[in-house]
A and B are shown apart, each in its own frame.
Chain A
Amino acid sequence: MTTEAHRATEAIWRIESARLIAGLARVVGDIGTAEELAQDALVAALEQWPTEGVPERPGAWLMGTARHRAYDLIRRRKTLELKHEEIGRELERTQERADLDTAIEEDVGDDLLGLIFMACHPVLARDARVALTLRVLGGLTTDEIARAFLVPVSTIAQRIVRAKRTLAEAHVRFEIPSGPERVARLASVLEVIYLIFNEGYSATAGADWVRPALCEDALRLGRITAELISTEPEVHGLVALMEIQASRLGARVGPTGEPILLLDQDRARWDRLLIRRGLTALDRAERLGGALGPYALQAAIAACHARATTAGETDWPRIVALYDAVAQLAPSPVVELNRAVAIGMAFGPAAGLDLVDALAGEPSLKSYHLLPAVRGDLLRRLGRSQEAGAEFLRAASLTENVPERDLLHRRAAECARERMTG
């Protein structure tokens, strides 16, 4: 019974913590204090619920408990601040209490949005934004985040502490930005969610090629954000991209954990439900009008693959056109590399190789393993097995992910065999 109540409490925490922290952050102004207050309420729940039973409305109970602590805190702060302004004090306190009550009873949507914008504030380093978002919005423990990113628990704990301090020192306000600032802030939010997704989708390090739980966390954060800011096409674009990519999770890993590349995947194993959800989200982005943004364009590319029953039916010219659009909107060497792959498929390996070779001197791709991997692929299709093999070996030396490295070694070995027999 006791463990059951404990498990129930933890599950309730996962459901309620973001709303709780958001409601409190709006009132107290900073994530650190809000999280401490919410944690205190959790501790109280863990003490009381196993003996007294879980209340009928556990979320309201947690909020009520945290709210009392927030009152105390504000009163203490005020006492310090207003030592010499005794007259105004009683008035202030009454006003604070009224504000607090409204803040907590109003629609939680705006609070959650404020918390998302705060946790993903550009003043924070990417790593810090990711950790803080998973912690306060995803409801993950520091241990769980550390495990997901294969780093020591202390590293994540420090990252979160520092992030909160940075936010406080930069006087980042709890707000929903508007105007030109909103565009940049929203971009940062979407970037954080996609970073989380990608770490699960193609882990940069470790023994597993994919970590589906992290993809699911990112998808849920994306879906939550899309419901909160339903008029922003790019939010739906990002959700569409993640849903369609996640539809391939079961197909992109072989029986022994080895990666299976997109064109070699058994498409019968793609998750039709996620594809359908992704196409619906893409449709929502398109219906909102205007030119598609980078995420929606990438989702449209993913949709081209999803719609092709076999790899041979892929509409490569359309994919090239979509990559052209991405390259115009958000030019980057990685986009150029992807465009080169699509051109190699649409117009032959020689055309693709010209583009890849043009990227050879690009400093940001110097240690990017997919550059030699793509080059190897194109060379192999041109029958230049020896050069291809060398490229695959170079790619293998550049990745920290074990299954991916093994795959690249296998491809190098295949090239060596082709050279012997060919």
Chain B
Amino acid sequence: MRVLIMAKEGEQSAAATPPTPEAMAEYQKFNDELVKAGVVLEAGRLYPSSQSKRVRFDGKKRTVIDGPFAETKELVAGYWLWQVRSIDEALEWLKRAPYDGGTFEVRQVLEYEGM
């Protein structure tokens, strides 16, 4: 199965403090381990919400709203797409990530409709 891991934008990333080289190296090591285990399909980091936009639909009307957005805890700062055998496997991998703060959300991707 595929799971989408979403890193939530916390106070830290909203403040746009660049990660230290040590933190980057730790992250790289973890990501390498995931790649070697054949888990990572795709990974990406997003610009902060101050540079993002939203499009709201209301009947035929479309409204474009500029960031930043207030509900920082719900905003996505980065994502991974993983291939795992179970949600539990995803959780065990995620627990090994070298982070000391923040929240990550794990969602299963709907696949193979009609099978």
Contacts and interface: CB of A to CB of B under 8 A. Distances in A.
Interface of A: 7-8, 10-12, 14-15, 58, 109, 208, 210, 212-213, 216-217, 219-224, 227-228, 249-250, 253-255, 257, 273, 277
A224 B37 contact: yes
Interface string B7-18: 000000000000
B46 interface: no
B26 to A, nearest CB: 15
Contacts of A221: 38
Contacts of B42: 273
B115 A224 contact: no
A11 B86 contact: yes
B111 interface: yes
A273 B112 contact: no
B91 interface: yes
B92 interface: yes
B5 to A, nearest CB: 15
Interface string B103-115: 0000000011111
Contact of B41 (A10, A213, A273): A273
Contacts of B113: 250
20 contacts: A14-B89, A15-B37, A15-B93, A58-B92, A208-B115, A210-B115, A212-B111, A212-B115, A213-B85, A217-B85, A219-B83, A220-B37, A220-B38, A220-B83, A223-B35, A224-B37, A254-B114, A257-B115, A273-B41, A273-B81
Given A210-B115, A257-B115, A8 B41 contact: no
B88 A7 contact: yes
Interface residues of B, number: 22
B62 interface: no
Contacts of A208: 115
B72 to A, nearest CB: 29
Given A11-B86, A15-B92, A273-B42, A250 B36 contact: no
A222 B92 contact: no
A214 to B, nearest CB: 11
Most chain A CB inside 10 Å of its own CB: which residue of B35, B36, B85, B113? B85
Contacts of A210: 115
Give me the 4 closest cross-chain CB pairs, A-B, nearest first: A223-B38, A220-B38, A11-B88, A11-B92
A20 B37 CA distance: 14
A7 B88 CA distance: 7
- In terms of DSSP, what is the predominant structure of the interface of chain A? helix
Nearest to B90: A11
B38 A219 contact: yes
B100 to A, nearest CB: 14
A373 B114 CA distance: 25
Nearest to B42: A273
B85 to A, nearest CB: 6
Contact of A8 (B36, B81, B91, B111): B91
B37 A249 contact: no
Nearest to B115: A253
Nearest to B114: A255
Of B1, B37, B42, B113, chain A has the most CB atoms within 10 Å of the CB of: B37
A249 B86 CA distance: 19
Given A14-B89, A15-B92, 15 more contacts: A8-B88, A8-B92, A11-B88, A11-B89, A216-B85, A217-B85, A220-B37, A224-B37, A250-B112, A253-B112, A253-B114, A255-B114, A257-B114, A273-B42, A277-B41
B115 A222 contact: no
Nearest to B86: A11
A58 B95 CA distance: 11
A212 B92 contact: no
A250 B92 contact: no
A11 B38 contact: no
Contacts of A217: 85
B88 A224 contact: no
Contact of B92 (A12, A224, A277): A12
A347 B37 CA distance: 44
A87 B45 CA distance: 62
A273 B2 CA distance: 12
Contacts of A257: 114-115
Contacts of A277: 41
Contacts of A224: 36-38
Interface in B52-75: none
A10 B88 contact: yes
Nearest to A255: B114
B98 to A, nearest CB: 13
Contact of B112 (A109, A222, A249): A249
A272 to B, nearest CB: 11
